[in-house]
Amino acid sequence: MTTVQAAALGKAECPTCGQLGSPAEHPACRRCGTLLHLRKPNSLQRSWALLIAAFVLYLPANLLPIMETHSLFGPQKDTIMSGVVYLWSSGSWILALVVFVASVAVPLLKLVSLTLLLISVQRRWQHQPLQRAKLYRFLELIGRWSMLDVFVVTILVTLVQVQTLATIHPGPGVLAFAAVVILSMLATMAFEPRLIWDAVDNSPRKEINP
């Protein structure tokens, strides 16, 4: 039985233990007590709200200084891209590549991909549902690595302060970037991937609220 067929019969699988139940008859799972829903409540609205907030903070995350360097030559403030250029020109090519991928490519890829998924569900696209489902699983997979840039900046601060006379402090861009990462992760978690398959069914179902 597919999730669409189960939902048509009023059945829902418990997200915690996998027990099949009926939310209309028993709102909570009989085995573990978790609340049952045929689909994640208000998933599209919550995903859009979190995604828009992430897009709004994406600009300051890239425009504000992510690290502030103080040395004998004076203070210097670097954004993500200027930091990548600095690392590349100083010979730290691998670290520059890691920062670029983790700070620029991956967050933008997540935001654009999730936007595509939300639009496809709202417009009830019926083509390539498997590819879109795989795209969602990919977004879930890379979500656990999204905070990599924050750790890279922390490691960079420690290495520079130990090995040179310069001192590096995280800038306000780090907070904006961390907010983008967290919001994008929450938006991905709020999205209901089963809505992708609902549009493929012969009897389309709308998103169900509790």
What CATH number does residue 70 fall under? 1.20.140
pLDDT of residue 34: 64
Cα 137 to Cα 102, 105, 141, 191, 194: the distances in Å are 18, 18, 6, 11, 12
Phi, psi angles (nearest 5°) of residue 19: -70, 135
Same domain, 76 and 144: yes
Q: Please report, as a single letter, which amino acid is at residue 153.
A: V
Whether the CB-CB separation of 110 and 182 falls below 8 Å is answered with: no
Residue 67 backbone dihedrals phi, psi, to 5 degrees: -150, 145
Domain count for the chain: 2
- 93 and 15: one domain? no
Domain that holds residue 34: 1-38
Q: Are 187 and 114 in contact (CB under 8 A)?
A: yes
**Does one domain contain both 102 and 30?**
no
Is 131 inside a domain boundary?
A: yes
CA–chain centroid gap for 150, Å, is: 15
Q: Are residues 14 and 78 in the same domain?
A: no
Per-residue pLDDT for the chain (210 aa), expressed as one digit of tens each? 445 555 555 666 666 665 666 665 666 776 676 666 566 778 899 999 999 999 999 989 888 887 776 666 667 677 778 777 877 887 878 877 877 887 788 888 899 999 999 999 988 888 888 898 899 888 888 766 666 656 655 555 555 554 455 566 777 887 888 888 889 989 998 998 888 887 776 444 444 444
Same domain, residue pair 14 and 68: no
First to last CA, the chain: 23
Q: Is 0.95 surpassed by the pTM of this model?
A: no
15 and 71 fall within a common domain: no
On whether both 6 and 101 belong to a single domain, the answer is: no
Q: What totals of helices (H) and strands (E) does the chain contain, helices first?
A: 9, 5
Please give the pLDDT value at position 9: 55
User: φ, ψ for residue 61 (rounded to 5)?
Assistant: -65, -30
